[in-house]
Amino acid sequence: MAEEGDILNAEIQQEMYIPVRTLGRGAFGEAVLYRKIEDNMLVVWKEVNLSRASDRERADALKEIDILSLLNHTNIVTYFNHFIDGTSLFIEMEYCNGGTLHDKICVQNELFPEEVVIWYFFQICAAVGHIHENGIVHRDIKTMNIFLTKSGLVKLGDFGISKILDSEGMADSIVGTPYYMSPEIVQGKKYNQKSDMWAVGCVLYEVLTLKRVFDASNPLRLVSDIVKGHYEEIDERYTEEMNSLVNKLLSQNPDDRPSVQELLEMPILATLGKEMEKKVWQLNSSTRRARLVTHSSETVPVITSKTCEVYFWGAGKQTPQKVDTFVLGNTATQVAAGHSHFAIVTVEKEMFTWANAHGGKGMSGQLGHGDVACYRNPKRVDALFGIPIKKVACGDEFTACITDDGALYTFGSDYFGCIGCSNELDEEVLLPHKVTFFNDKPVEDISCGDCHVVVMCANKAIYSWGCGEHGRLGLGSEDDFAFPQKIPLPTSCKVKRIYCGPESTFLLTVTGRVLACGNNDENQLGLDTLHSLRKRSIKGHVPSANSPKLVQSLNRYTIAIVAPGKTHSAFVDVYGRLVTVGSNKYGQLGVNDYQHHPSPCQVKGELVSKQVVEAACGEEFTVVAT
């Protein structure tokens, strides 16, 4: 009989994490980037060594984290979970993939435009305002504690933790960089939230000038400069309102410094306030989703050593070739392939493309690098840098991808209208083009055939465009469309996944039913029906379907995965059973013969006792994973 302590409480949440890389190390611990297996979300686990802390200080540490975990603001680094293990405090928090504001300033070669300064400053003020409303004084606002995302969001972090590490009090814990300390602090006077506003002024000055407002190398000289309050004026290119704002924040008298609320009411911020609030909300969608699924129960993190490696072969490569680009912090999470090009989304939600053109086949811009060159090594699509990519799909000579926010980008050949721009661009679109049709219709899923595209929006509406031959667009005809068209479906049909074959489209419903349209020459859609169950002769061959039709031959199964091919298709049901249909000329149905099978076949043999978790169909072969 198991001991009671050996049984995990049902309320304990067990998360699986894969280490990506170490972000940094300090005197009290380190911060490591992890990927959650459940949803591929990147998070940071920060380990803080409490071996030199007293029991009281440990209790204070947990209390402090409890307070921080209650803060919920788009411009504050989100704390997800925490626990103490022995002498270490572990904190799970949001990952900001754009570095710090300090990093940004260090690589800036020219002054920021004022509109960029306002965008950063507005977000900093919003964050500071939130902590002040909760009765918290940050006490360590500086550019190194202001984090960025690649999409342009600003996140205030690293507050409250460092001060609990030093039993001598607050002063030493915030003196790591004394350049942002207010006059009242350096003079040993009492201070309040207006001291944070001084630090905000120092940060604003640094963004405007690319240098610290007080930067003496001698500590005594630095304190003297801070108390005297003498500093250079900002550049004349900035407005008088911006100059006045700096002077007010750097007032020697704390009472003369504006509060956050007073700042936000100033014309320089108030005129764009609502617009910037909306932009921040939209850009922060991924973290918002993360908070919704984070439980308040205790967490037991399970770290695995699982890694992802990328291999490719074919087009002259007879054995798998490892792609060394995607290792460590650049691990791939999704792969897509066209006729001669590849696309990958990494854990950092960046996209890489490259080609393996065989026989001198040229490119049509499907790599998204601004030219038609054939890049044989993976290259990041720089035009999408800073935009978190959620999923990518490849057609024959084009590529399409969707972002975390549901935006859709396409690039490559527009010969069949697959770019979705009504043929208003060049026939070869060399850089990612945003399909504006979906600006107010966030895209949730995407799939591409050889020369058509199908997407599913967040509201579950399905759209298709491109080549309409054989009725693959599901629009009731074989017409081509160069602009997204809504596929008419019964209101009772709730689609959860979409799949494109080279010349077909499959829709998988929430009930595990399958609808299909497009080319059915080899019964690869499973639409053919039988005349006699005894003779199993074909009653009616359906050469194609120009609107989605229920695949009745699969109704005995509850389908979970669809894998369309050119002349055959594979399906996996909820029990992991593999079902194939279509051409069997080369044995691709996996039923130990080369005979024609007019109805779906359940693959047994080696798979009898195995559960299939993934399947893919090539032109004349099938691959499955168990």
Q: Residues with catalytic annotation? A: 140
Angstrom distance (rounded) from CA 375 to CA 358: 13
Angstrom distance (rounded) from CA 508 to CA 58: 52
Angstrom distance (rounded) from CA 327 to CA 504: 35
- Which stretch of DSSP H or E encloses residue 252? none
Question: Which letter, b or e, does each residue of 18-31 get, where b requires 16 or more Cβ atoms within 10 Å of its Cβ?
Answer: bbbeeeeeeebbeb
Q: Strand, helix or coil at 172?
A: helix
Tokens describing residue 578 = 């593999």
Tokens describing residue 279 = 């932009």
Q: Count Cα neighbours of 536 within 13 Å in the Cβ-side half-sphere.
A: 7
- Beta carbons of 45 and 31 less than 8 angstroms apart: yes
Q: Which DSSP category does 608 fall into? A: T
Q: Strand, helix or coil at 272?
A: coil
Across 525-618, the runs of DSSP E, i.e. the strands, are: 529-530, 538-540, 544-550, 559-564, 568-573, 578-582, 601-602, 614-617
- Beta carbons of 559 and 515 less than 8 angstroms apart: no
Angstrom distance (rounded) from CA 605 to CA 598: 20
- Beta carbons of 465 and 485 less than 8 angstroms apart: yes
**SS3 labels along 497-518:** EEEEECCEEEEEECCCCEEEEE
- Taking alpha carbons only, the member of 56, 17, 54, 47 closest to residue 34 is 17
Q: Which residues are paired to 81 by β-bridges?
A: 92
Burial class (CB in 10 A: 0-12, 13-18, 19+), 149: buried
Q: CA-based Rg of the chain, rounded to a whole angstrom?
A: 29
- Taking alpha carbons only, the member of 383, 389, 388 closest to residue 367 is 383
- Dmax over CA atoms of the chain, in Å, equals 100
What phi and psi values does residue 15 have, to the nearest 5 degrees?
-105, 145
- Beta carbons of 622 and 614 less than 8 angstroms apart: no
Position 348: which residue type? E
Position 587: which residue type? G
Angstrom distance (rounded) from CA 285 to CA 403: 11
Across 60-173, the runs of DSSP E, i.e. the strands, are: 79-85, 88-94, 146-148, 154-156
Angstrom distance (rounded) from CA 191 to CA 183: 10
Alpha helices in 294-351 (DSSP H): none
Position 1: which residue type? M
What phi and psi values does residue 131 have, to the nearest 5 degrees?
-70, -35
- Taking alpha carbons only, the member of 237, 211, 212, 232 closest to residue 222 is 212
